[in-house]
Structure 1
Amino acid sequence: MEATYFFDPACPFTWRTSRWLVGVAEQRGVTLRWRAFSLSILNGDNVPDQYKPMMAASSRALRLVEALRADHRDETVGAFYTELGTRTHEAGVPISDEIVVAAAEAAGVDNAKAILEDPAWDEAVRESHELGFGSAGPDIGSPVLMIEGAGRGVHGPIIDEVPDREESLAIWDAVVPLARSGAFFELKRGRR
């Protein structure tokens, strides 16, 4: 089975959900595909000044995500996101251009700086974002999960901590049939 995960690397909830998904994929034999979902595109100019440098760094990181995907390097995208999230979300440090470059180098991407600075990849990011948003939207954000056999993607699941193995698999085993159901569209509860 394949699952495509549309993500913005600046989002901490998206990061935690990705760690859940990586663990589940290993246990359930799921092939992960990684795609760009841009909170910058989603929010447009409606971003407080204090977050603009972080969003700019995230946008450049998404260029690399789509460049690697176009080169059929999903495993490298996964390694890059792991390196990036470890350096930011796990370390309690906001995403920055320097961290993005260091994460790309640690993931073995040789030409990362050129890709990160190449605006030609912005169209691929926009197309990926629109695909993810269109599959699960409206009124959604990052992440979007598309599961093989489902007609539409779903926003989430949003988790605030990675559960243990048993609970992780239970969530996956519940999400798959819900995502594949044509009748299902939302399950939500407020944050604590």
Structure 2
Amino acid sequence: MVCVTVVDMWFDPKCPWAWNASRWLLEVERVRPVEARFHVMSLWLLNKDREHLEDWYRTWLSDTLGPVRVLVAAEQKYGPAVLRDLYTEMGNRIHHDRTPIGPQLYGAALSSLDLAADLAEAATSDAHDEALLASHHAGLDPVGEDLGTPAIHIGQSAFFGPVVTPVPRGEAAGRLFDGMLLMVQTPGFYELKRGNRTSPKVD
């Protein structure tokens, strides 16, 4: 009997690094006994009380709350499993089609999965913010230091990353997972980092 490793990932749908990490995890599922489960966090929530944000980043964050609200509303109505496909539908539109974030994007993503159209209204409502906050903290509090997304939990290990571009495919995706698993299971291991990061190539 093959033992399946459950990997929980927290994402904000606008973040290109989270998008790449999520596509990598889906690739890992093809080559390793892994089950990826997706959860929502919010870069807007993470940064709302920070005083020293660069102007470009504050502008970039301005439309990020709506999509996570719609995702959480869908999760509340249909259960957590809906996030995998709804994230994919939103993410493809955001990162590949360059659809502006707003009602048209929400409506198209929901329609593609035959989900209730009125879930789009959650984007401008605080009705699900308590559930969003709970999901946000469940993902990020164990990571610490307000590190953001992608945030991944494997068993009792929680960490930020991987930050990767382009997305590894096939066995390359599996090898990255194998190495990451070895690192996070090493007591006292905290950080491995490379500077001079290039711009993300979304996949």
Q: Which bin holds the TM-score, normalised by the shorter protein?
A: 0.7 to 0.9
Q: Residue in 2 aligned with 1:37?
A: 41
SS of 2:129's equivalent in the other structure is helix
Contact 1:80-1:103 within 8 A present in 2 as well: yes
Q: Residue in 2 aligned with 1:27?
A: 31
Q: Residue in 2 aligned with 1:168?
A: 173
Q: Residue in 2 aligned with 1:75?
A: 81
Number of residue pairs matched by the alignment: 189
Computing the radius of gyration from Cα coordinates, the structure with the larger value is 2
Aligned pair partner of 2:143 in 136, 147, 150: 136
Q: Residue in 2 aligned with 1:103?
A: 109
State the superposition RMSD in angstroms. 2.3
1:60 aligned onto 2:66:
yes
**C-alpha distance in 2 between matches for 1:130 and 1:171:** 27
The residue type equivalent to 1:20 in the other structure is: W
Structure 1, 174-183 or 164-173: larger mean CA deviation: 174-183
Structure with the largest fraction of helix: 1
Residue 177 of structure 1, CA deviation? 2.6
Structure 1, 133-142 or 106-115: larger mean CA deviation: 106-115
Structure 1, 122-131 or 153-162: larger mean CA deviation: 122-131
SS of 1:120's equivalent in the other structure is coil
In structure 2, runs of 5+ residues without a counterpart are 199-203
The residue type equivalent to 2:11 in the other structure is: F
**C-alpha distance in 2 between matches for 1:164 and 1:49:** 32
In structure 1, runs of 5+ residues without a counterpart are none
Contact 2:27-2:169 within 8 A present in 1 as well: no
**C-alpha distance in 2 between matches for 1:134 and 1:102:** 33
Contact 2:74-2:119 within 8 A present in 1 as well: no
Task: Name the TM-score, length of structure 1 as normaliser.
Answer: 0.85
Residue 75 of structure 1, CA deviation? 3.3
Contact 1:32-1:74 within 8 A present in 2 as well: no
**How far does the alpha carbon of each residue in 1:26-80 deviate from its partner, in whole angstroms, 9 at most, with x for none?**
332322221111110111164737864x645432221233334345633321111
SS of 1:33's equivalent in the other structure is strand
The residue type equivalent to 1:80 in the other structure is: L
**How far does the alpha carbon of each residue in 1:76-115 deviate from its partner, in whole angstroms, 9 at most, with x for none?**
2111111111111112445334212321221222142243
